[in-house]
Amino acid sequence: MLGFTLFGEMVLVHFILQYTQFSPNSNRFTLHTDIVELKMFLVNYPEIKDEANLPVFVRGIGIGCNQESLARPSALYPQILYSTKGIGLITVDGTTYEIPEKTGVFLNKDVEYLYRPKGNVWTVNWVSFDFGIAEMGEQLFLGQRFLLTSYKHPEKLDLIFKGIYNSLTMDSVYGNMKASAELYGFLIEYNRQIAEIPEVTEKSNRVINRIIEFINEHYSEEISLEMLCDAAGGLSEQYLCRLFKQHIGMRPIEYILKKRIGIARSYLEKTDLPINDIAQITGFNNTSYFYRNFKKFTGTSPLSYRQTALGIKSSGESSAALFSGKW
């Protein structure tokens, strides 16, 4: 239980420095007489072994910490910090934000930041973590660098926090593994509570609307995920795909294909343009690719679809007519 011993020493030193004073006459430490409320903080930095291969694992955790001013050019690992008492200030990219109670921040690694208490007391819970599977970070944290949000149910986060800490300190054999599983549950709950915040949902809706507007304007051109990310304000591809599927029910590429096929159906129904021209107009540079996707989404070929839409009985046209003739 070396980790627990080190933790105990940290708490003892903190307690002595903050809540006692040394009397030379009696050669003793005595409690400050002006103590109104006495609280201890809990901190643990587990030794990382096999859990580094897990999808997500704990690097460090703190509960009830009296947060002082701290400036870092970058964080080694992603972290979540939220206020339990008082108000903190955090500066990221030149902008300063308040972190009152029931509010927290997510900081990705390599983000430069400065945080400090606004008043005399700012108490926080924090956890730093890492990913054995890199994609897990993108899926859970949306490819974000920095996120400030409030929580409807911080008591749920507190409960999971205590479970993580207890696993790390009370089980020397499987504690780190158990803490990793509990951390995953914490991150899921964290994301769930974020999704319930109206301003977060509103922001997501604005992003999705920008993406859809871009697709509507450029469906006839080649569209890459990178272009969509730029249109959305510089999101990561993983976050964009996750957000889009959450709101629309499908990935962006599938949406683009359905959009193009829908417009192609309209051309087939209302015009006599050759099918290869319709393919080009709707953003398919390869007619065979257009044919495959049209059949995938409609269950029939473009030629058969046009014949059915116009009430024309199949007359056994050659396959060449599919690409170059009126049909």
* Pair (151, 228) in one structural domain: no
Predicted pLDDT at 151:
79
- Assigned domain for 21 exists: no
324 compared with 278, residue with greater pLDDT? 278
- Assigned domain for 10 exists: no
Q: What CATH number is associated with residue 58?
A: 2.60.120.280
164 compared with 12, residue with greater pLDDT? 164
pLDDT digits (tens, 9 = 90+) for 71-80: 888 878 899 9
- Assigned domain for 121 exists: yes
* Pair (244, 179) in one structural domain: no
- Assigned domain for 179 exists: yes
* Pair (265, 305) in one structural domain: yes
* Pair (154, 245) in one structural domain: no
**Residues 214-238, mean pLDDT to the nearest whole number:** 89
Instruction: Name which of 190, 186, 234, 187 is nearest 210 in CA terms.
Output: 234
Domain of 218 in residue numbering reads as 200-249
Predicted pLDDT at 300:
93
CB burial string 104-128: b at 16+ within 10 A, e below: bbbbbeebebebebeeeebbbbbbb
Predicted pLDDT at 223:
95
The answer to whether the beta carbons of residues 287 and 323 sit under 8 Å apart is yes
**Residues 309-321, mean pLDDT to the nearest whole number:** 54
* Pair (59, 205) in one structural domain: no
Instruction: Name which of 259, 227, 224, 225 is nearest 242 in CA terms.
Output: 225
* Pair (78, 121) in one structural domain: yes
- Assigned domain for 31 exists: no
* Pair (208, 243) in one structural domain: yes
Percent of the chain beyond pLDDT 70? 77
28 compared with 273, residue with greater pLDDT? 273
pLDDT digits (tens, 9 = 90+) for 95-135: 888 888 988 888 888 888 999 999 889 999 999 999 888 77
* Pair (190, 59) in one structural domain: yes
* Pair (106, 166) in one structural domain: yes
- Assigned domain for 224 exists: yes
Residues, the chain: 327
Predicted pLDDT at 242:
76
Instruction: Name which of 299, 219, 296 is nearest 263 in CA terms.
Output: 219
* Pair (311, 220) in one structural domain: no
- Assigned domain for 101 exists: yes
The answer to whether the beta carbons of residues 92 and 70 sit under 8 Å apart is no
Measured CA to CA, the distance from residue 167 to residue 247 in angstroms comes to: 36
25, pLDDT greater than 60: no
Predicted pLDDT at 12:
42
Predicted pLDDT at 76:
84
Q: Which long-range contacts (CB under 8 A, 24 or more apart) does 316-319 make?
A: none
Helix or strand run (H / E) with residue 278: helix 275-281
Output the CA torsion sign for 116, 128, 75, 192.
Answer: negative
The answer to whether the beta carbons of residues 261 and 269 sit under 8 Å apart is no
Predicted pLDDT at 322:
42
Q: What CATH number is associated with residue 299?
A: 1.10.10.60
Predicted pLDDT at 43:
75
Under the banding of pLDDT at 50, 70 and 90, the label for residue 251 is confident
195 compared with 51, residue with greater pLDDT? 51
Across the chain, mean pLDDT equals: 79
* Pair (172, 208) in one structural domain: no
Percent of the chain beyond pLDDT 90? 35
Predicted pLDDT at 38:
38
The answer to whether the beta carbons of residues 75 and 110 sit under 8 Å apart is yes
Measured CA to CA, the distance from residue 303 to residue 143 in angstroms comes to: 43
The structural domain count of the chain equals 3
* Pair (62, 179) in one structural domain: yes
E-strand ranges in 39-168 read 42-44, 57-66, 70-72, 79-92, 95-99, 103-107, 113-130, 146-150
200, pLDDT greater than 80: no
- Assigned domain for 6 exists: no
Rg (CA), the chain: 29
pLDDT digits (tens, 9 = 90+) for 212-223: 899 999 999 999
In eight-state DSSP terms, residue 50 is G
**Residues 273-294, mean pLDDT to the nearest whole number:** 94
